[in-house]
Chains A and B, each alone.
Chain A
């Protein structure tokens, strides 16, 4: 359901990298002036430390004079794409300084808001988790007099969260193992006689039950009807239980399932379509299909009590414009939420047809039901966890 839940460790790793980068940045700004000094007093660590401290104080005061926003997203190839298509150009055009971080989803926002230590200004959660966050009151209401959604698809923004990309949860297979005759639907994915080999599946319940229930013979349009009871949920989990001996890895992040497929560690995996495309671009022998895939979207939101709320609103308004959204598909196969992005001529016909949001692809897929997750997430998650520990 969410674009990717980078592991906490991934996040920590990147946090450290961000800190290192900012130190480097400060170093670069100041290094020219202090270069000779460094050479002369090479061994005097104390002075260096003092200089670094002084530099950081100077840098902080300089920063305070311009607008800054801290943006948190999912890392990996997805955030790279966001950075190139949205964040960096928008920063250049608006003069807002952008500090990027990676996060583990709404749970991180929840921790920040409930502990009163909010550092993120803009976050990029999945629509479902944002809906839950909005219900809990941990998000700021978006100001649609600033953010222009007149050309947006009507169901891709809410009061608290404005859509940025449309993505799909798909099944991918290794073309070395299965050739082009890969699985045609979820039933094939679950069929280890017809398609012998190892699988990877999500470690969380989000986007895990829908495929299983379809594999068990439920028609795509009835998925959420059947899952709307504890028996239905157990039926789906039983299907996964059957497959479990063949599931080598339960993945926890988009970067992970992309890596698993690229390395040939597993023969098939569920996952987010854009990540698989990037992995294939890096030489992975991977294909995926939109048939019976789960259609979902990611959005931008502002945590309650964000330190730079107004700048954040302005920044979100900027990156929601079609001239930014139309660049995203160049880096990762995720579709725009602003319909006007198709009109700018930046997205060619072939690319448009490959996106999860193209009309032909949409027709093949099952839209994720936010209402179902609101009602059943906890129950389903508990049962799913129980199955995982068996």
Chain B
């Protein structure tokens, strides 16, 4: 008596499972072009990079590319400079970008849009043009020095470019929109009623900002900061032009390694180390920050 219903429900469950499998297969089918693309343009090249980094000058398997990095003192210094420059750029971007994003979020929409356009404006100009423009403005006999000296702000030309200062100025200028946009997005998504509620409960404006507004805006801020930081790690043009050859980053070393050692292994090994270091930093950051929130875009 009891057997048939069981078979029925068994059949039913099996049917459901079959449907589920079918659906998963369909979804997989839909996702497969994207997965294939990721495989072709990401997984294979990165795998290739790892493989090549273990190929020595004579074409056999060897650790010489990594050995060189340990033996030669310059590599450690270059990695330190790279992370230092990236960190400083990110920090300055936050200090400038966050207040600006906050200011824009308070403006009426029409004005805010205007501000957004001015923030985006640099994107429409070539990176090279902007970098060289800084050189023209900031060099020893550049506009800024000439002007400041003529009105007596300082007597000796200040060294703005061909050093770390110049590198940071140029990089902050180029990276700023990457920080402002997600931060602004997160701020706009904050329900104004939360702030009203907090002042209704007696919070001062400062308290309301720090305990309600700021925490709600952090996903956007962190997303922006992370983007800036990671982009900085691989930056080439601006530090090469504004650093005066004295601020040497990993990207520049990769170029000179290709020129010097003729094989891809030496350069690939640098790429691998940078990739691993960056991934570790992201992994450590993910222990403290909520990545899902960032990618989800705020709420």
Contacts and interface: CB of A to CB of B under 8 A. Distances in A.
Interface of A: 7-9, 13, 104-105, 107, 110-111, 136, 203-204, 248-252, 263-265, 377-378, 381-382, 385-386, 388-390
Contacts of B36: none
Given A9-B237, A107-B258, A378-B260, A388 B139 contact: no
14 contacts: A9-B237, A9-B240, A107-B259, A111-B258, A136-B262, A249-B244, A263-B139, A265-B140, A385-B253, A388-B248, A389-B74, A389-B78, A389-B81, A389-B248
B240 A248 contact: no
A111 B263 CA distance: 10
A381 B73 contact: no
Interface of B: 72-74, 77-78, 81, 128, 139-141, 159, 162, 236-237, 240-241, 244-246, 248, 253, 255-256, 258-262
A249 B162 contact: yes
Contacts of B258: 107, 111
B245 A251 contact: yes
Nearest to B131: A9
Contacts of A385: 74, 248, 253, 256
Nearest to B159: A248
A277 B200 CA distance: 75
A250 B246 contact: yes
A60 to B, nearest CB: 28
From B128, B244, B245, residue with most partner A Cβ within 10 Å = B245
A8 B77 contact: no
A304 to B, nearest CB: 14
Contacts of A110: 262
A382 B72 contact: yes
Contacts of A249: 162, 244-246
B141 A265 contact: yes
A104 to B, nearest CB: 8
Contacts of A390: 77
B255 A8 contact: yes
Contacts of A251: 245
Nearest to A8: B255
A98 B56 CA distance: 39
Nearest to B258: A107
B243 to A, nearest CB: 9
Contacts of B236: 8-9
A376 to B, nearest CB: 12
A363 B241 CA distance: 37
B246 A265 contact: no
Contacts of B246: 249-250, 388
Contacts of B77: 389-390
Contact of A265 (B139, B253, B255): B139
Of B139, B255, B258, the most chain A CB neighbours within 10 A belong to: B139
Contacts of B255: 8
B245 A250 contact: yes
Contacts of A265: 139-141, 162
A200 to B, nearest CB: 9
Contacts of B237: 9
A264 B73 CA distance: 34
Contacts of B78: 389
Contacts of A388: 74, 245-246, 248
Contacts of B261: 378
Nearest to A107: B259
Nearest to A266: B140
Contacts of A377: 260
A254 to B, nearest CB: 14
Contacts of A104: 259
Contacts of A382: 72, 74, 260
Nearest to B256: A385
Given A7-B241, A203-B245, 14 more contacts: A9-B128, A9-B241, A13-B128, A104-B259, A107-B259, A136-B262, A204-B256, A249-B246, A252-B240, A263-B140, A265-B139, A378-B260, A382-B72, A385-B248
A252 B92 CA distance: 29
Contact of B73 (A203, A250, A378, A386): A386
A248 B162 contact: yes
Nearest to A12: B128
Q: Which 7 A-B pairs have the closest CB atoms?
A: A250-B245, A107-B259, A386-B74, A249-B244, A203-B245, A389-B74, A389-B77
Contacts of B81: 389
Nearest to A387: B74
B244 A248 contact: yes
Given A7-B240, A136-B262, A264 B141 contact: yes
Contacts of B244: 248-250
Q: Which of B139, B259, B260 has the largest count of A CB atoms less than 10 A from its CB?
A: B259
A386 B240 contact: no
A378 B266 CA distance: 13
A175 B59 CA distance: 53
